[in-house]
Amino acid sequence: MNERVVGLKKIAVILVLCMAMVLFSGCGQGKVNEKGYYDTLNVYNWGDYIDPVVLEEFEEEYGIKVNYDTFANNEEMLAKIQQGGNDYDVIFPSEYMIETMIKEDLLQELDYKNLSNFKNIGEQFKNLPYDPQNKYSVPYFWGSMGIIYNTKKVDEKVDSWDILWNEKYKGNIFMLDSVRDTVGITLKKLGYSLNTKNIDELEKAKEELIKQKPLVKAYEVDNYKSMMIAGEGAMALTWSGDAMLLIDENKDLAYTIPKEGTNLWFDTMAVPVTSKHKKEAELFIDYMMRPEVAAKCAGYVKYATANVKALEYLPKEEVENELAYPKGNIFEKGEVFIDLADFTTEYDRIWTEIKSH
C-alpha cells in the first residue's frame, strides 16, 4: 500500500470523525451535555416578556445555557430571521407574522410528540386562522389594544378612540411606534377594518394621524411606560398586559377598550428555520407550557396567558379582571391582524409619510 493511499485513508478517518463531531457535539456550535442535550439554546423574544426565573430554572433542570435576545417589533424579528445570520432556536412572533413566516418558509413544523403540554392551551386559542392546525406555533400570551389613562389628568369618560385626538391633551398623549397598531386603531376609529386593503381608507387614516401628530408627546414602545407611571402623560395607546402592569405601579391609572372595537392579538412560540437544535427548541416550548411556568410568566409580565391550566396558579383578582381576561366570545371584542402580503408596503409608505410630516 503506497503512502498516497495511506494518506487518503487517514483523511477519510478524519472526515468521519469530523462528521461525528457535527452530529454529536455541534462542531463548534455547542456540545452535547451529560443529559443528552445541546448545551446552548438561542431564544429571541419581545423585551420584558418572560420571567427571568423560568429561564434560570430551565437552565438548571436541563443543563442548557439560554442565550436570550430581544426585539422591539415583529418586523425587526422578521428581518433577522430572513437574514439568517443568527441561529435562533425559539422565537415569539405575533399572529399576522406567523402567517407571513409560513408563506416565506421561515418556520419549521412542530413535532407534537415532543409537546405533551399543548393540552394545557385553551381550545379557543387553537387552530386559529393564522395557523389553522397549529403546525408551526403554539399560543403564549393574548390580549387587546386599548387606552391607558391617568384618572387625575382625565376627568371625562374614556370610551372612544376619539379622545386620543382631543386637543385638550396636547403634549400628553403617547402613541405606539408600531405601524400596524397605530394605523389599525385609527382605522377602527373611522369605522374601517384594521386589515383594510382599500387605499382610500388607508389615506384617510394617514390624514387622521397627521392631524393628531402635534398632540403626540412621543411615539414609543417601551419608554412611555415609566413616564405614565410617573404621571408624566395623560394617556397612551397600549396593549392590555402592559396596562395591567402599569396599573399595579400607579393606582391612578385605568384601562379601557374603546367602543369602536380593538385589535385582538396573539403572541406565539415557534421554531424558525435558523434553528439547528429543534429537539431542544421543542423541549423549551413544552417547558413553557407547563402550567406553573406559564403562570410565573403571566404573573411577571401581567399579560393574559393562553394556558388555561395556568389560571389555577394565578391570583383570583387577576383572572377575574375582564379587561385582562375578557369573558364570553373574545372575538366580539375586535379583529385579529392578518398578513397583508404585498399590501404591507402601502402601510409602510403611509407610516413613513406620517413620521416625516
What pLDDT, on the 0 to 100 scale, is given for residue 332? 84
Mean pLDDT across 234-244: 94
What pLDDT, on the 0 to 100 scale, is given for residue 326? 86
Which fold would CATH assign to domain 32-142+265-327? D-Maltodextrin-Binding Protein; domain 2 (3.40.190)
What pLDDT, on the 0 to 100 scale, is given for residue 30? 67
> Dihedral sign, CA of 257, 213, 247, 51?
positive
pLDDT tens profile 9-44: 344 444 444 444 443 333 335 689 888 899 999 999
Mean pLDDT across 254-272: 96
Task: Please report, for the chain, the start and end positions of each structural domain, with discontinuous segments joined by +.
Answer: 32-142+265-327, 143-264+334-356
Q: What are phi and psi of 71, to 5 degrees?
A: -130, 160
Q: Where are the alpha helices (DSSP H) in 213-277?
A: 223-229, 240-249
What pLDDT, on the 0 to 100 scale, is given for residue 322? 87
Say if residues 111 and 298 touch (Cβ distance below 8 Å).
no
Average pLDDT, the chain: 90
Does residue 348 carry a pLDDT above 70?
A: yes
Sequence-distant (≥ 6) Cβ neighbours of residue 53 within 8 angstroms: 296, 300
pLDDT tens profile 73-104: 898 999 999 998 789 999 999 999 999 999 99
Does residue 349 carry a pLDDT above 60?
A: yes
What pLDDT, on the 0 to 100 scale, is given for residue 329? 84
CA 192/CA 63 separation, integer angstroms: 51
CA 318/CA 224 separation, integer angstroms: 23
What pLDDT, on the 0 to 100 scale, is given for residue 253? 97
DSSP SS3 for 221? coil
**What is the reported pTM?**
0.81
Proportion of the chain above pLDDT 70, given as a percent: 91
Mean pLDDT across 128-144: 95
Grid cell, residue 212, equals 393628531
What pLDDT, on the 0 to 100 scale, is given for residue 98? 97
Say if residues 330 and 122 touch (Cβ distance below 8 Å).
no
- Quick one: CATH architecture of 143-264+334-356? 3-Layer(aba) Sandwich (3.40)
Fold agreement between 32-142+265-327 and 143-264+334-356: yes
Distances in whole angstroms, Cα of residue 68 to Cα of each of 28, 50, 57:
19, 10, 14
